[in-house]
């Protein structure tokens, strides 16, 4: 097997050695020896053959079971911390300095290569430059499943990565290397002596602040650097520059706006988050402008700049000092408004042009006066940030479940003596909603006193009315199923005083709703007056998490594809632009996977210069937590959207569609036979995974369940998280084993091979399936069953592991390999390295679950804390939560 890159191996070894030193200093040599013996047992277990594997596992399990109660937590922490350090080393490997003879990473050159490819395909320089400048990609940062690691630890991990970069220079003298080693030792000790598990759940405001911190520490630096390189690549390929006003990638957020099933997100919370975003934006731009005012000491200026500042010896500083005062006023007003609402004074910046205009004036003046080299430095970076982030930092989406709007309107119509809105059929609802939308009078009298839930819906709409339009994104309706769901929100917004168009976005989540998405949008577009209320394109959100939980990923993926095709066709026929919003998670079971391949696998015409997607939880840190890695991922997004727009994949052939219909039908039946039809399934899930205990993990502000009930009541996050912890990974593959096996039995192997070779959608699905199967581990899942599951349920576990084996076998047959991921030996090697540290955590977790279920353990007991640390450690090792 291919060895891991030597420098990566050295980094992992160094970080592990320093962690060992830290552990020895606290607990002594004997305890460190215990850790090392557990690690050696895990390695021996992995290396042992099938004949003596049971013995090796028993030895490892016995050693863990023999741990004293006070040893449980430090042992769990040791393996958890190593996996976090391995993540840092692996992440740094993506961006480390390369020797001249080493090729640059694909992420760094993908745009340059694509522009050449597009030119060869016949696209002119002018059309390419125009298309790049017009791209609208929006990445929506979401709090769920939020982040397992605490923010204070993330900052220490970033500092460790910075020290790995500092030592990555060949010309360091021994004293410098020793100094870096001492810094690393200190940072690792700080991380070790910091609790990795929060004591309390974060509030929605805490989550929003975490999102703002990602912008402050990473994206604020990555965006201008990324755009500078885009401009260079564009100019090299076309001779043209990226326009100053271009912002191909922007950011939005659900943190503080997503109230679907989260009673902690209220109207006051949304107002506070909007104000915090304005405060943070003003503070960040104030730092930039302070820096620029210090640098731009030049005297020569254009007539336009002279006219703006009068007779000044330092005109650039004079103009920037005016802007600085307005930014200070904006920050002070936002700070004061957090305590008590107050009108904004005239000097408060509220229009982004007021921020951009002075910066553009300085930029143009410097160029006119022959000082372009100065203009194109930090001033250009600040301009790019102003266009991308603006005065509101991120646009806040609001999300609410359609049932809450129905309930609110039912209370209103009942109060008005019109009957209950919830009892009306769709046609009656639409007639009423259109009539009220066109009516100039208010629907409600001022003295109407609604119940608490209706009052909250109306209060949210009033906050939307009060907020500047540029601070808000879309109003997303989860579990949307009909045209009336969209009109209902439009009416509630109108009633609250929203006088501007706002994008109201239906989210189609279940299999049935995805199949019905096209007819719903067509009905909307044909309604009188609806288009006049559209704000730009018709936005539609495609749900990945709940559709996969409902039907399995085989049927869900195909339903998502067909829904997009249908929406593209309908909007084209109605001459309406379409914006598809992809509600992807971090894991394959929730629509996750490599973004570049996923975008290129979308139906032709569905990515027409526009793309909107969620970035969830821990994936935000992995993809955007360090500036250089953030640049790489921004590059991938931009290149993929550009390619999907100008070189879309061909539509699937009729034979492929027919086979995909059969795969989806077989897949959903196999999935639901297990998940919905087997009466033992829910109880097996609860016994064999830490699903019950996940509710105690302070992951995010949102409850783990929407309501009481079975699988359908679970959010997608604990549903995926539970199976990931036991390595069965069931939601990501269940159904594929039956669908693909039956296709092969029907003699359709050649057709499957053709689909995989020529159809990006199918190839990407199989690639993601292979990746998740490579992370799955039937032996680990079996151990959980043996330790936790009652005897009557164990046959179900054995059946599921048999299905997992079938899934692996059929994928190997389809790819022609003898081992999963054989085409990526370095990935395999690193999975193997991680398993040495993951295995003890899995076995320890199963033991801790057994102990904790056998008695009542206090929330802060060592046993309970150790259990939560194993959850966090496994998530870190697999780089997946929900």
Residues annotated as part of the active site: 144, 549
Return the half-sphere exposure (C-beta side, CA atoms, 13 A cut-off) of residue 283: 14
Judged by phi (left if over 0) then psi (alpha if -120 to 50, else beta), residue 480 lies in beta
Cα–Cα distance for residue pair 336/327, rounded to 1 Å: 14
Helix axes 6-27 and 174-192, enclosed angle (nearest 10):
60
Do 725 and 874 touch, CB atoms closer than 8 A? yes
The CA distance from 862 to 73, in Å, is 6
Cα 659 to Cα 665: distance, rounded to the nearest angstrom: 10
CA torsion 482-484-490-492 (nearest 10°) is -120
* Measured distance between the N- and C-terminal CA atoms of the chain, rounded to whole angstroms: 31
Fill in the DSSP letter of residue 789: S
* Bridge partners of residue 139, in order along the sequence: 251, 613
Q: Answer whether 266's CB lies under 8 Å from 456's CB.
A: yes
DSSP structural state of residue 705: B
**Tokens coding 880:** 């997946």
Going along 464-565, which residue ranges are E strands? 472-478, 504-508, 538-543
Q: Under a CB-based contact definition with an 8 Å cutoff, are residues 701 and 201 in contact?
A: yes
* Residues 495 and 526: beta-carbon distance below 8 Å: no
Tell me how far the alpha carbon of residue 222 is from its chain's centroid: 17
How far apart, in Å, are the Cα atoms of 502 and each of 461, 469, 578?
A: 11, 8, 15
Which element (helix H / strand E) includes 611? strand 610-616
Q: Please identify which residue in the block is written with the tokens 């059309």.
A: 127
Place of tokens 């125009």: 130
**SS3 assignment, position 26:** helix
CB 596 within 8 A of CB 636: yes
Contact 393, 249 (CB under 8 A): no
Q: What is the DSSP letter of 294?
A: H
User: Which residue, among 380, 351, 381, has the nearest Cα to 367 in the 3D structure?
Assistant: 380
Nearest to 368 by CA among 425, 304, 286, 412: 304
The answer to whether the beta carbons of residues 161 and 92 sit under 8 Å apart is yes
**Backbone angles phi and psi of 500, in degrees to 5:** -115, 155
Strand blocks (E) in 758-811: none
Cβ partners under 8 Å of residue 354, min gap 6: 326
Nearby residues of 746 by Cβ (< 8 Å), 6 or more positions away: none
> How many residues comprise the chain?
882
Among candidate residues 358, 132, 389, 327, the one with its CA nearest the CA of residue 248 = 132
Q: What is the Cα 505 distance to its own chain's centre?
A: 19
Q: Show the tokens assigned to 279.
A: 């405060």
- What are 730's two structure tokens? 């069931």
Q: What is the CB neighbour count within 10 angstroms for residue 404?
A: 22
User: Cα-atom radius of gyration of the chain, to the nearest Å?
Assistant: 28
Closest to 739 in 3D by CA, of 712, 765, 711, 778: 765
């Amino acid at each position: 097997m291919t060895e891991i890159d030597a420098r990566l191996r050295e980094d992992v070894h160094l970080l592990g050695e320093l962690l060992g030193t830290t552990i020895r200093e606290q607990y002594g040599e004997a305890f460190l020896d215990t850790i090392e013996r557990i690690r050696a047992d895990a390695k021996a277990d992995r290396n042992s053959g099938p004949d003596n594997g049971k013995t090796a596992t028993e030895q490892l399990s016995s050693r863990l079971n023999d741990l004293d109660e006070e040893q449980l937590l430090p042992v769990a922490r040791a393996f958890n911390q190593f996996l976090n350090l391995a993540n840092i080393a692996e992440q740094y490997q993506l961006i480390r300095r390369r020797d001249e003879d080493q090729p640059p990473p694909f992420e760094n050159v993908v745009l340059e290569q694509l522009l050449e490819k597009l030119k060869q395909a016949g696209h002119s320089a002018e059309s390419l430059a125009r298309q790049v400048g017009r791209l609208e990609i929006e990445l929506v940062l979401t709090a769920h499943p939020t982040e397992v690691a605490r923010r204070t630890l993330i900052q220490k991990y970033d500092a460790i990565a910075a020290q790995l970069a500092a030592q990555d220079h060949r010309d360091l003298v021994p004293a410098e290397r020793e100094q870096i080693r001492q810094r690393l030792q200190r940072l690792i000790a700080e991380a070790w002596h910091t609790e990795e598990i929060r004591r309390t759940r974060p509030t929605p405001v805490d989550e929003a602040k975490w999102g703002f911190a990602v912008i402050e520490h990473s994206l604020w630096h990555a965006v201008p650097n990324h755009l500078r390189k885009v401009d260079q690549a564009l100019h090299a390929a076309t001779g043209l520059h990226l326009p100053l006003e271009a912002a191909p990638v922007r950011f939005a957020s659900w943190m503080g706006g997503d109230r679907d099933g989260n009673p902690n997100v209220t109207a006051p919370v949304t107002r506070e988050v909007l104000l915090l975003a304005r405060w943070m934006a003003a503070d960040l731009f104030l730092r930039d402008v302070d820096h620029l005012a210090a640098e731009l000491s030049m005297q020569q200026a254009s007539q336009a700049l002279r006219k703006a500042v009068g007779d000044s010896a330092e005109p650039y500083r004079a103009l920037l000092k005016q802007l600085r005062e307005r930014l200070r006023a904006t920050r002070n007003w936002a700070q004061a408004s957090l305590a008590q609402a107050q009108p904004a004074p005239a000097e408060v910046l509220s229009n982004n042009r007021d921020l951009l205009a002075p910066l553009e004036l300085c930029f143009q003046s410097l160029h006119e006066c022959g000082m372009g080299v100065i203009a194109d430095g930090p001033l250009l970076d600040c301009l790019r940030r102003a266009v991308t982030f603006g005065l509101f930092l991120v646009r806040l989406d609001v999300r609410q479940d359609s049932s809450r709007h129905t309930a609110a309107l039912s209370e209103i119509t009942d109060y008005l003596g019109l009957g209950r809105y919830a009892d009306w059929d769709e046609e009656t609802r639409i007639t009423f909603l259109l009539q009220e939308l066109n009516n100039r009078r208010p629907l409600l009298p001022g003295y109407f006193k609604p119940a608490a839930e209706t009052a909250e819906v109306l209060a949210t709409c009033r906050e939307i009315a009060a907020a500047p339009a540029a601070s808000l994104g879309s109003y997303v309706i989860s579990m949307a199923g009909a045209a009336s769901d969209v009109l209902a929100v439009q009416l509630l917004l109108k009633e609250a005083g929203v006088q501007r168009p706002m994008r109201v976005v239906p989210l189609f989540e279940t299999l049935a709703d995805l199949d019905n998405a096209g007819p719903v949008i067509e009905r909307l577009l044909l309604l009188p007056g609806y288009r006049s209320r559209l704000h730009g394109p018709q936005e539609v959100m495609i749900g990945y998490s709940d559709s996969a939980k409902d039907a399995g990923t085989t049927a869900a993926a195909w339903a998502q594809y067909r829904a997009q095709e249908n929406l593209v066709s309908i909007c084209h026929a109605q001459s309406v632009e379409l914006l598809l919003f992809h509600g992807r998670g971090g894991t394959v079971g929730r629509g996750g996977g490599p973004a570049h391949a996923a975008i290129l696998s979308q139906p032709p015409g569905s990515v027409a210069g526009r793309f909107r997607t969620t970035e969830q939880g821990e994936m935000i840190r992995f993809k955007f937590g360090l500036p250089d890695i953030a640049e790489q991922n921004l590059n991938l997004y931009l290149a993929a959207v550009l390619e999907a727009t100008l070189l879309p994949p061909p539509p699937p052939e009729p034979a492929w569609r027919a086979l995909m219909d059969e795969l989806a039908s077989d897949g959903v039946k196999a999935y639901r036979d297990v998940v919905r039809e087997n009466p033992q399934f829910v109880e097996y899930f609860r016994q064999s995974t830490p699903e019950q205990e996940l509710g105690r993990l302070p992951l995010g502000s949102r409850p783990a369940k929407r309501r009481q009930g079975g699988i359908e009541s679970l959010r997608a996050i604990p549903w995926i998280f539970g199976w990931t912890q036991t390595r069965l990974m069931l939601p990501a593959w269940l159904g594929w084993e039956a669908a693909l096996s039956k296709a092969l039995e029907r003699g359709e192997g050649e057709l499957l091979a053709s689909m995989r070779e020529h159809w990006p959608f199918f190839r990407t699905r199989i690639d993601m399936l292979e990746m998740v199967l490579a992370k799955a581990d039937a032996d680990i899942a079996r151990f959980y069953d043996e330790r936790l599951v009652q005897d009557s349920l164990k046959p179900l576990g054995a059946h599921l592991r048999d299905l997992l084996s079938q899934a692996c076998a059929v994928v190997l047959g389809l790819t022609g390999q003898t081992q999963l991921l054989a085409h990526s030996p370095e990935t395999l090697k690193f999975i193997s390295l991680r398993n040495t540290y993951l295995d003890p955590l899995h076995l320890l977790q199963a033991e801790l679950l057994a102990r904790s279920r056998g008695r009542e353990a206090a929330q802060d007991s060592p046993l309970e804390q150790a259990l939560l640390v194993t959850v966090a450690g496994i998530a870190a090792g697999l780089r997946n939560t929900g």
